Amino acid sequence: MSAFFSSIMVENQQEKGAEEGAKSTRREVLRAVGASGTGVLAIQHGLQGVRAGGDDVKIVTHKSRNTVARTQRVSKQWYDHKTQAKQALNRLRQNLGASPNVLGISTETLDERIDGLRKFGIRVSFDEAEGSLPVASEVNGIPVLTEEIPGFDRACYTGYQEPIKGGNGHTSPSGAATLTCRVYKGGQKFMMGCRHVFVDNDKGNCDGSDITGTKWSQGGDEVGKVVYGYQNHDCTLLDKSTDGNRVFDNSIVDETGYVAGRVTAEGVDYLASSNDTVRKRGRSSCKEQGEVVGTGTIYCNNGNYVGNAVRHTAHIESGDSGGPSYHKISKSNSSDELYMLNINTHSKSITGDDTWGSAAFAMHNKRDISFGGATFSG
């Protein structure tokens, strides 16, 4: 085994992620794989699960700003398995993430269950034009599945609604897409949208150029500009500096209730294993429902990536880029609560018909972007 692979450091991080890992170039990784002489990416065993007292573990699944909104008790055996799967995922990210062949690496729920919750495997998606690499069938007891699929596919359309809500269409000088929802950063309100629609070249989300100041519109009227753009999340924060009379509403189009917060990293894993329904909105495909499959990373061929990406089965189409996915908590005596899961930015290009996009918990922890808050418009 080469020194490159035997010296990998495992980062056991939940909400903070482990995306900054591999510093080698993608070509250097290929050379390291070829130099190992094994024909397989050998992974050393010995990862240890999280240990906690008692027969179960209480996890935080939803938050509103910094306040715990919902918790869930899960079996310690499932929690240890889930933690072990995430550690194995981090190993594969650092071993394979710099390869030009790799499109995505993610956890994936399996049919087998522990105390009613589904177990996890790992799926590695290779660009069929580049070909796959030999990968071990399991990492520390966690099964690894591989597939070859076509490369990226992106396009967008437009739409209009007042007040402006998550799920509405918008346009930029480079194209059109869907808004995510109203968010807060630094005490200011913004609408979130996808970043790649503001990039004026074919590199899309892989391009790292500065797009701040770029104008955006809705219904043919200019609304404001890009204040923040984050390539590693393929998201933007948009203001209404051109037309201050437009209203950013804390709701999602064609949905009851309001955006109350975000699903945590633990909550994403729990939703995946419990088969709970998640929802999404998009300008082109409108309403869809699905289930969380897993989490992982989307890789580019220039060293960039979109990290902490949630993968789910709610289908999106061209024009839906930037649209929200969320978990709805129905209330009988008050407004329904919508907890943001992720921004939808990729489909078909990573794992068949599944949808991918950066997690709300990652954007909160890494970029100090808050989801939820006051129910009123503004």
Q: Are residues 177 and 133 both part of a single domain?
A: no
Q: Are residues 236 and 314 both part of a single domain?
A: yes
16 lies in some domain: no
71 lies in some domain: no
Q: Are residues 239 and 124 both part of a single domain?
A: no
Residue 205: pLDDT above 90? no
Quote the number of domains for the chain: 2
Q: Are residues 211 and 158 both part of a single domain?
A: yes
- Condensed to tens digits (0 to 9), the pLDDT of residues 296-350 reads 888 776 767 787 889 888 877 767 889 999 999 998 888 899 999 999 888 754 4
116 lies in some domain: yes
State what percent of residues in the chain have pLDDT above 70. Answer: 75
Q: Are residues 147 and 188 both part of a single domain?
A: no
Phi-psi region of 80 (alpha: psi -120 to 50; beta: other; left: phi over 0): alpha
- Of the candidates 184, 309, 322, 189, the residue with the CA atom closest to the CA atom of residue 253: 322
Q: Are residues 159 and 111 both part of a single domain?
A: no
Q: Are residues 224 and 86 both part of a single domain?
A: no
210: domain CATH number is 2.40.10.10
For the question of whether the overall pTM of this predicted structure is more than 0.75, the answer is: no
- Over the chain, what is the mean pLDDT? 78
63 lies in some domain: no
pLDDT of residue 341: 96
* Cα 345 to Cα 177: distance, rounded to the nearest angstrom: 10
- Condensed to tens digits (0 to 9), the pLDDT of residues 107-156 reads 999 999 999 999 999 999 887 766 777 888 999 899 999 888 765 433 33
Q: Are residues 144 and 274 both part of a single domain?
A: no
* Cα 102 to Cα 208: distance, rounded to the nearest angstrom: 19
Q: Which domain holds residue 243?
A: 153-378
17 lies in some domain: no
Q: Are residues 100 and 165 both part of a single domain?
A: no
pLDDT of residue 332: 84
Strand, coil or helix: 45:
coil
Q: Are residues 185 and 234 both part of a single domain?
A: yes
